[in-house]
Structure 1
Amino acid sequence: MNAVDSVVQAVLYEGYLLYPYRPTSVKNRQRWTFGGVYPHAYAEASGSDPWVAQCECLLRGDARTRVAVRPGFLQVIERTVLEVVQSVADAAAPAELGEPAWRTVPQLDIDERRYTRWQEAAEQHIALPVLGLGELLQAPREIAFSFDATCELEPLADRAGTLRGALRRTRAALQGRVEISAAQVAPDVYRLKTRIVNETPLEYARGLTRDAASLRALVSCHTVLTVEGGTWFSSIDPPDALAAACAACRNIGLWPVLVGDERRTDTMLASPVILYDFPQIAPRSAGDLFDAAEIDEILTLRILTMTDDEKRAMTATDERARALLTRTKGPGGALIGKLHGSLRRVRGFDPAHGAVSRSTAPDDAATRVSPWAELLHARPQLAYVRVAGVEIRSGDQVRLRPRGRADIFDIALSGMVATIESIERDFDDHVHVAVTLDDDPDKEFGMQRMPEHRFFFGPDEIEPLDRSFRQRRGLQ
């Protein structure tokens, strides 16, 4: 299940904390946008938030087939910052039985660490028994679940060991049920239905804010379904004979895809975000950046450009942000180079090869072959091109002068000095000069023909440098 769990983790923490990873960022104040299942009373009062998550998918099996349903979600934790006060009169909570007196503060600095108010999250899993398909066909199952409210205090001391404050973490009680049923749709083909319902009782649902409701929600709710003695059908690309039955499946807030080993179809992930079948985590991804729609290299470079004050604010959020910053502080050029995109072998579009995108890193050296190499060889590179009466070749320096239909990216490079990497023709016999920028600190990537560091200009958009010197060399 390792391949499955890695994808589940990426889905679970999608959007948990987004760049610039600071609590003052608007997008980090409005989190919990994926897979939220809110209390039924609040959902009815708000009129816009769901109170149920439902998955329906098809499987092949018989009465002896066994199905394991594993729902999971994040539970939001309210974290407040407390400071030790000397005067009981200033304390929000007076001391009792020798305990210190506390007052709530927006933030607290202790030595080099800063602590701020924040909403953390903890993983929760709903324990369900493995069920036989035969018994589900006879009668649906309904299983209640609940999680108790908790309040924990983490003391904070300075280097000298003096108690300076504390973090108070509060979890609300949660309550709900899971409904599982099955129905036959064709010979040896069945539709399994799983519903997760949030029934957490609320006293004042209509006046509850969304932040307060999130404390009682099942956030990033998902379900892993495993079958023994049967196989799942793809919900994205079902057999033609089952296309209508698959289209009739009703999914609410969940998107079922096949996961795990592509040679087997015994595991399905009902995800709160849309994926292809058999999603994978890029092997060069060093860890979670909480934004699977972004690329590791981009986010890592952005983090490295943050100021010391911004990084301090980032570590004040929670331990996941602190671990992320520690991991990206000194990755070194080798790791950044591996994260950089490169061309890989092209394979036909197949939903079975979908991926949760964490990076565009190359798989290995053997796959770094241009998928168009055979076509490119049919159009050999030009040895030189004549510009302003001068023959220019690969390795020569030129100044860029974008013109004609140049876009804003071309215009931004106007006047820069570049080195010609190659001179190429397309299949319409248009000549293109590929260059790398001399001021690009990663221009070696351009010489390796990697994207983003290799640019194309027409012969009329480049200006040879030191024309008189070239003429004396007899190049005119």
Structure 2
Amino acid sequence: MSVTSFAPETEARLALARRVADAVLFEGCPLHPHRATAGRSRLRRPFGVLVPPAWDAVDEEYDFQYTECLMEPGTDACLAVELRFLRARRRTVQRARPDGEFETVPELAFPDEMLVPLDEGTEEHVEALLTVAELAGGDGIAIPFGCPASEESEAVLDGDGRVAGRLIHRHEEISGVLRLSARRLEGPFRLMRLTAVVENTSGWTPAEERPADRDAALPHCLVATHLLMGLSAGSFLSMTDPPEWAKGAAASCRNLHTWPVLAGERGRADVVLSSPVILEDYPVPAPEGPGAPPVVHTPEADAIRGPAGSAPPEWRDPVTATEATPVSDRIVVEGRSVGVGSRVRLKPGMRRTDAQDLFLRGRTARVEAVLNDVDDTVYLAVTVEDDPGADIRRVQGTFLYFRPDEVTPLEDDA
């Protein structure tokens, strides 16, 4: 969905920043091929989630993001804004019955694959091109947006070409609003505070017959929500390292559930990425290897990994290394022996910067391997116990990684 289309020169200026934004958008969604000839974006436990207003079961999730940053716009400057998020598409698996009807099942097994219900992430975006003068007038600009409900059916064939079942892909209706405004600040400089608010206004309400649960709310959420903003003339100021004369103004800006950083070509300051994942200025995307999700690298840190360290650290060569053998190694955690098959409770530490960790804290997981990285740091590779895609993760090797002090053993192992 689009409010307007950007001009070619605007697209070119946002292109590099959009590559970084893609890492933010899709890092939690590795490709999950449900058939040999097709692929879908598997939605992991997401981050940057804006829930519908009726969902108030937890304090860590909100129905809005609030961004403020500083800019010095040029004469007659325009602001290009792109709101991007994922929308959950729920996949239901059904088996064909002899009478020609279909029944919903928890899985559909074939010799070379197993189909299971899951949530897939599909990209949505809202674009706006406005003058700074428009934003500075009155209460600013409000841009409503919406996505209608939809449903698609896909036949699943067995090895003989007969219909063995079908996949039902369902989108629920969602709606929201993007609010933009700008205000001139006092002082000798042409400094303005830009405010951008994203709200989920979806009318979903919990079912009366059972308590509200996150699984029911997710199809009505905006997932991995972030903003790209570019000036046609002028520049933004770094919110991480503002110039001395602007530090007071930067400190007065409010940023809730998101953080704006300079993005795009290093040395320029005309594009900002407001991300739910904590980044430094001028992050750049970098692949972690074939089939791995993108990560965001910054000059100050080796990598911003997400969600919850889903991209593995650089491991020692298992053929030559003697410090760690993933299948057989065990370590002692809180006086208990922990190894492959052990059950643990996750307690992500303060060293982590990913909002995704809020969803993992307190959940139970099973250890899949004990590993050492090149710095001799020990990690536990785990799968979350109530993750319906745990079997797929084991095959693909897309585990979550935690240090020993970030887990609590649940039982002694023989």
TM-score bracket relative to the smaller structure = 0.5 to 0.7
- TM-score, structure 1 as length reference: 0.55
The answer (yes or no) to whether the contact 2:262–2:271 under 8 Å persists in 1 is: yes
- Tell me: CA distance 1:283–1:209, structure 2 relative to 1, closer, same or farther (3 Å): closer
- Tell me: CA distance 1:67–1:300, structure 2 relative to 1, closer, same or farther (3 Å): farther
- TM-score, structure 2 as length reference: 0.63
What are the equivalent positions in structure 2 for 1:196-211 lying under 5 Å apart?
A: 196-204=198-206, 207-211=211-215
User: Deviation string for 1:141-199 (max 9, x for gaps)?
Assistant: 01110000111111111232111111111111001111000001143111110000111
RMSD: 3.0
User: If you compute each CA radius of gyration, which structure gives the higher value, 1 or 2?
Assistant: 1
Kindly, what percent of the aligned residue pairs are identical? 30
Classify the secondary structure of the residue corresponding to 1:41.
coil
Correspondence for 1:79 among 69, 91, 103: 91
Q: Report how far residue 218 of structure 1 moved.
A: 0.4
Classify the secondary structure of the residue corresponding to 1:281.
strand
What are the equivalent positions in structure 2 for 1:117-136 lying under 5 Å apart?
A: 117-128=117-128, 130-136=129-135
Q: Report how far residue 223 of structure 1 moved.
A: 0.3
User: Deviation string for 1:386-425 (max 9, x for gaps)?
Assistant: xxxxxxxxxxxxxxxxxxxxxxx79xxxxxxxxxxxxxxx
CA distance in 1, matches of 2:286, 2:201: 38
- Tell me: CA distance 1:36–1:112, structure 2 relative to 1, closer, same or farther (3 Å): same
CA distance in 2, matches of 1:209, 1:64: 48
Aligned twin of 1:242: 246
- Tell me: CA distance 1:205–1:73, structure 2 relative to 1, closer, same or farther (3 Å): farther
The answer (yes or no) to whether the contact 2:85–2:225 under 8 Å persists in 1 is: yes
Of Structure 1 and Structure 2, which has the larger fraction of its residues in strand? 2
One-letter code aligned to 2:137 = Q
The answer (yes or no) to whether the contact 1:227–1:266 under 8 Å persists in 2 is: yes
User: Does structure 1 residue 31 correspond to structure 2 residue 33?
Assistant: no
CA distance in 1, matches of 2:227, 2:218: 19
User: Does structure 1 residue 145 correspond to structure 2 residue 149?
Assistant: no
Classify the secondary structure of the residue corresponding to 1:262.
coil
Aligned twin of 1:277: 281
CA distance in 2, matches of 1:46, 1:67: 35
Q: Report how far residue 113 of structure 1 moved.
A: 2.1
Q: Report how far residue 54 of structure 1 moved.
A: 1.3
One-letter code aligned to 1:123 = E
One-letter code aligned to 1:156 = V
Q: Report how far residue 298 of structure 1 moved.
A: 3.7
The answer (yes or no) to whether the contact 1:150–1:170 under 8 Å persists in 2 is: yes
CA distance in 1, matches of 2:78, 2:268: 16
One-letter code aligned to 1:41 = A
- Tell me: CA distance 1:157–1:15, structure 2 relative to 1, closer, same or farther (3 Å): same
Q: Report how far residue 110 of structure 1 moved.
A: 2.9
- Tell me: CA distance 1:284–1:221, structure 2 relative to 1, closer, same or farther (3 Å): closer
Classify the secondary structure of the residue corresponding to 1:215.
helix
The answer (yes or no) to whether the contact 1:42–1:205 under 8 Å persists in 2 is: no
Classify the secondary structure of the residue corresponding to 2:206.
coil
- Tell me: CA distance 1:299–1:205, structure 2 relative to 1, closer, same or farther (3 Å): farther
Classify the secondary structure of the residue corresponding to 1:253.
coil
CA distance in 1, matches of 2:202, 2:271: 30
One-letter code aligned to 2:113 = R
CA distance in 2, matches of 1:193, 1:164: 53
Q: Report how far residue 47 of structure 1 moved.
A: 4.4
Q: Mean Cα displacement is larger for which, 6-15 or 248-257?
A: 6-15
User: Does structure 1 residue 189 correspond to structure 2 residue 188?
Assistant: no
The answer (yes or no) to whether the contact 2:68–2:253 under 8 Å persists in 1 is: yes
- Tell me: CA distance 1:288–1:110, structure 2 relative to 1, closer, same or farther (3 Å): same
**Unpaired stretches in structure 1, ≥5 consecutive residues:** 19-27, 88-99, 308-355, 357-408, 411-476
The answer (yes or no) to whether the contact 1:75–1:218 under 8 Å persists in 2 is: yes
Classify the secondary structure of the residue corresponding to 2:98.
coil
One-letter code aligned to 1:136 = L
Q: Report how far residue 2 of structure 1 moved.
A: 4.0
Classify the secondary structure of the residue corresponding to 2:286.
coil
- Tell me: CA distance 1:145–1:122, structure 2 relative to 1, closer, same or farther (3 Å): same
The answer (yes or no) to whether the contact 2:156–2:165 under 8 Å persists in 1 is: yes
CA distance in 2, matches of 1:299, 1:121: 30
The answer (yes or no) to whether the contact 1:16–1:31 under 8 Å persists in 2 is: no
Higher relative contact order (CA 8 A, sep 6+): 2
User: Deviation string for 1:224-263 (max 9, x for gaps)?
Assistant: 0011111111010001111011111111111111111112
The answer (yes or no) to whether the contact 1:17–1:290 under 8 Å persists in 2 is: no
One-letter code aligned to 1:175 = S
User: Deviation string for 1:326-359 (max 9, x for gaps)?
Assistant: xxxxxxxxxxxxxxxxxxxxxxxxxxxxxx9xxx
CA distance in 1, matches of 2:195, 2:120: 31
Aligned twin of 1:172: 172
What are the equivalent positions in structure 2 for 1:388-427 lying under 5 Å apart?
A: none
One-letter code aligned to 1:254 = T
**Unpaired stretches in structure 2, ≥5 consecutive residues:** 1-13, 32-41, 296-303, 319-324, 328-353, 355-375, 378-414
What are the equivalent positions in structure 2 for 1:14-163 lying under 5 Å apart?
A: 14-16=27-29, 31-32=45-46, 34-43=47-56, 46-62=58-74, 64-87=76-99, 100-128=100-128, 130-139=129-138, 140-163=140-163
The answer (yes or no) to whether the contact 1:39–1:200 under 8 Å persists in 2 is: yes
CA distance in 2, matches of 1:287, 1:205: 39
CA distance in 2, matches of 1:281, 1:145: 29
One-letter code aligned to 1:253 = H
Classify the secondary structure of the residue corresponding to 1:237.
coil
Aligned twin of 1:252: 256
